[in-house]
Amino acid sequence: MTGLLVLLTAGCNAGSAVSDYGTVIKGAKGASVRVDVRPGQRFSLAVADNPSVGDSWDLVAVPDPKVASYISEERQSDGDAPGSGGTTYFVFNGKRPGTTEIRLRNCWRCGQDRTPATEESRRQSGEAVFAVTVAG
């Protein structure tokens, strides 16, 4: 299987809506990762981010709800210092056997309209793609 599967054992930050991220699958801008889960299995798609430098990750479109249901978006900081990076987690639950694609987009320094305004912003923006298979 492509991609790094890691069980997250640490709790989440205060104020998070979800305390169980399930199986964590790491992705990155410009990468495609395979995700294999079972029905009922919770999983999170994780991307490194740093809002202080312009990172802004979002879910491009909700995946096929028969295959995987979206639960929430959570963020954990790497530290308390201003400018600390961190990780954004998009939490899902495997539903029925099937496949779906989940795209996360980092719109770098895009502002309110979520459109890259400069050439540098266009170069730094991109997607992380996850090919999800829920096996019966």
The whole-number pLDDT of residue 10 equals 35
Output the pLDDT for position 17. Answer: 64
Q: What angle do CA 52, 7, 31 make, to 5 degrees?
A: 55
Give the model's pLDDT for residue 51.
87
71 phi-psi bin (left φ>0, alpha ψ -120 to 50, beta other): alpha
What pLDDT was estimated at residue 13? 40
pTM of the model: 0.82
Length of the chain: 136
Which CATH number is 119's domain given? 2.60.40.2020
In the chain, the number of structural domains is: 1
Which segments of the chain have a pLDDT < 70?
1-17
Share of the chain above pLDDT 90, in %: 59
Q: What pLDDT, on the 0 to 100 scale, is given for residue 43?
A: 98
Range of the domain at 64: 5-134
* Torsion from C-alpha of 68, 72, 73, 77, nearest 10 degrees: -120
